[in-house]
Structure formats: structure tokens, C-alpha cells
Amino acid sequence: MFDLTAAALDTAKLRGATYGDVRVMHLRQRDLTTKNGEVGTLAQSESIGLGIRVIANGAWGFSSTDKLTRQGVAACVAETVSIAKASALAKRGDVVMAPEQAYIDSWQSPFRKDPFEIPLDTQLALLLGADAAMRKVKGVTLTETDMQFRKIDSWFASSIGSRIHQRKVITGCGIVATSFQNDEIQKRSYPNSFGGQHALQGYELVESLDLLKHAPRVAEEAVALHSAAQCPQKTGTLILGASQLGLQIHESIGHPIELDRVLGQEANFAGTSFLTLDQLNKLRYGSDIVNVVADARIDHGPGLGTFAYDDEGVPAQCTDIIKDGQFRGYLSNRETAHLIGLKRSSGTMRTESWNRLPIIRMTNVSLLPGRWSLADLLADTDDGDESLLVHRRPPLPIPVFDRNWLGN
């Protein structure tokens, strides 16, 4: 694969590019779902291709191809350089890249069981078993289960001399029970309600969640909600559980700190941002006990925003976002780092596939823990034990991540 990337970079230089980076990506995915005891989705796919970015005449160009021959790559590079030169005709200024070292490395995310080595029959039997266990509960009218697996190999090379191979294995699964009674719909899910639990792990994640054990409880809770008391209307203290708080952090902090969104370079995926550059180091985001980081290092945990190098070849880092309640940092790349006074990118450029342009996307955006237990939090509120505790059962200590298949 690195022979192809070297050929692409050589051709780009000959055609007038002053910088280039190339990534060959091989993606495998498997998706399984059931609904009311029937198989819904049973799909497996594979994709491989090459994407290249270049700077020519001070402007960016990007193109991709799945024709991984010398001729196919050469044609792709020619198109990329032509796009850059055409873009230069309308540029506002030359692209300025923060310096970065060259790296030659290989990295694989930690996992114990490759989900693609587990037979489909085994995985499907587990989902159907959990589905059946939920349907045994009287009052349940809809049951759903799912598993998702991804294996991503990428070979990155740049004109500064980097050569990096990374392999990531991603696993996710979840179950949902829904109950319809009269004009009311109630739903419960495990392990959370936004598409299940996903992590940079192997099939061991599925086994650890023990779907069969939790299926009856999930169904019983869905039915029980019909007779549960309504949430009180009052003014008081609200305590958010881990997974509910995670969603709040994802939307209220994670997306707004993406610097391309702040600068108006990208607004299609999740809108623009209220965190304009004049807010940096001035805005109070929360109380003094609030500390939030964006951390892509494996030491932080196996989140979906974990890697060794981003898609510009910048090593994974931990960035302070909120420090003692004050807004302290954005997610940047090599092009935007200097705009916020940084000498180096924070390493957050990520691409969805070989045919997608890398853009700034959040890594694991996490609220750092304090020193309190739940009992301490309740005791410290005005309402004591009557405070409202809101979470999406069961509360899990998960980092906040960005992924494109988020559900409800």
C-alpha cells in the first residue's frame, strides 16, 4: 500500500503540489438487526480505495479513487492538483500549515476477539435470544436488537515523510423494548438509548454486556413506565446521570469546539458554533469544578474518538477544553491552529472513508470526575433526597464520542 502512496506523492510533486498527503483505507463492516423475532438486517460489506489532498498555488484540492493501479492513482492525482489550482483562482489567502514532525509507525487498537472471526450464526442467535426474552414480558409490543462491527485499516503518507499504518476495530450492540398502551408509547433500552454501546473493542464488548440477562428487565421497565408517576413540576436541583450527561456534553460542548465550525468552514454536518474566537479564555462555561478535556489517547479509554494519529498524521493528544469552569480550547488542525495562537495542531482531523475529505471532528470529549459520590451530590443540594436524578439506564462511565450512526 505504501508503494501506491509514494507514487501518488511523487506524481503530485511533479504536477506542482507543494504539499500532499494520501490515505489508502480498507473498511469492513457487518450489521445485524432483529425486530419482533424476525431478522431485519444481515449485511456485510467491504470497501478499499485511496484519497489524496494536495496544496497547489496556495489552495487545497482533494480527490479519491478505487482504481488502485499506477494508472488509476496517477489519474486521481492529476485531478486533485487540477482542483487545487482551480480553487486557487478564488482563494482569499494561501493555506498556512502548522509544522509537524514526520512519523513512521504502526498501531492497532486493543481487542481480544475479532468480531469478524465470530460466526454470523452465533451473533444472530444471541440477538434472537434477547429479542425472544423481551417478547415474553406481557405488554411489550415491539422488540428490537442490533449489532454493528467495523474494522478499518488505513495507510497514511505525507510529503513531509510520514508513513503510518493504523488498524481500528469497533464493536457496538444494544436492545430496545417498546410498549404501546392506549395513546401512550413507552420505551426502554440497554445499555443506552442512542443506538447501544459502541467502543474501540472487539467482540468481548458484546459478551461483557450480557444482553440475555438484561433483556427481561428492559422489557419489564418499558411496561412499568405506563403506571409510573409523572415527573414532578417544580423548581429544584437536577442531577444528570452519566449517559444523559454524555449526550449533553456531546451537543453543548463537543460540536461547538470544532474550529472549522467556528470559522464557518463547515456547517452542514451539525451547524455553526456560538463559541466565536473572542470567547476563548473569557467565557465561563460552568462552575469552578467543571473540567472537560478532548482526549484521543488510548490511555483515556477505548472511545470512538481514540486513535494513535489523526488523518493529518498528528499524534493523539489531550486538550483542555474547560479548565476550572473557564473555556480554554478548541479542536484544531494544521491549517487552523495558528488562528488561535497554537504552534501545533491538536490532532483532530478525521475522515469517514477513503472517499471523504478529512475534517475536524471531536475526539473523546469527557467531563473529568470529581471527588463525590451520588450520596454526596444529593446531600449537597437544596432538595436533598428529593432531587431529580435523570439518566438513561443503566448509567455507564463512557466518554463522549462522535459517530455518524447515532440513533434516538
- What pLDDT is stored for residue 202 in this prediction? 98
pLDDT digits (tens, 9 = 90+) for 275-301: 999 999 999 999 999 999 999 999 999
Q: Is the pLDDT of residue 407 over 70?
A: no
Q: What are the structural domains of the chain? A: 2-227 (3.30.2290.10), 238-390 (no CATH)
b/e code 224-256 from CB counts within 10 Å (16+ = b) = eeeeeeeeeeeeeeebbbebbbbbebbeebbbb
pLDDT band at 388 (very low <50, low <70, confident <90, very high): low
Burial environment of residue 403 by CB neighbours within 10 A (0 to 12, 13 to 18, 19 or more): middle
Q: Look at residue 110 in the predicted model and tell me its pLDDT.
A: 95
Which of 224-232's residues contact partners 24+ apart within 8 Å by CB, and which partners? Answer: 225/179, 225/186, 225/188, 226/139, 226/179, 226/181, 226/184, 226/186, 231/388, 232/388
Residue 402 scores a pLDDT above 50: no
Residues 6 or more apart whose Cβ sits within 8 Å of residue 342:
98, 332
Looking at residue 354, what is its pLDDT? 97
* pLDDT band, very low/low/confident/very high, at 403 (cuts 50, 70, 90): very low
Question: Which cell goes with 67?
Answer: 482504481
256 pLDDT more than 80: yes
Q: Report, as an integer, the average pLDDT of 363-368.
A: 94
Q: What value does the mean pLDDT take over residues 122-145? A: 97
pLDDT digits (tens, 9 = 90+) for 294-322: 999 999 999 999 999 999 999 999 999 99
Per-chain mean pLDDT for the chain: 90
Whether 380 has a pLDDT exceeding 80, the answer reads no
* Cell output for 62: 482533494
Give per-residue pLDDT as tens, 51-69: 999 999 999 999 999 999 9
Q: Using 50, 70 and 90 to split pLDDT, how confident is the model at 376?
A: confident
Residue found under cell 459520590: 373
The per-residue pLDDT for range 146-182, each reduced to its tens digit, is: 999 999 999 999 999 999 999 999 999 999 999 999 8
**Mean pLDDT computed over 88-93:** 94
pLDDT at 141: 97
Lowest-confidence segment of 28-37, 240-249, 360-369 by average pLDDT:
240-249
Structure confidence at residue 390 as a pLDDT band (50, 70, 90): low
Q: What is the mean pLDDT of residues 178-197?
A: 90
- pLDDT value at position 400? 37
Nearest to 258, CA basis, from 349, 181, 124, 155: 349
What's the rounded mean pLDDT across residues 179-191?
Answer: 94
The answer, yes or no, to whether residue 108 has pLDDT greater than 60, is yes
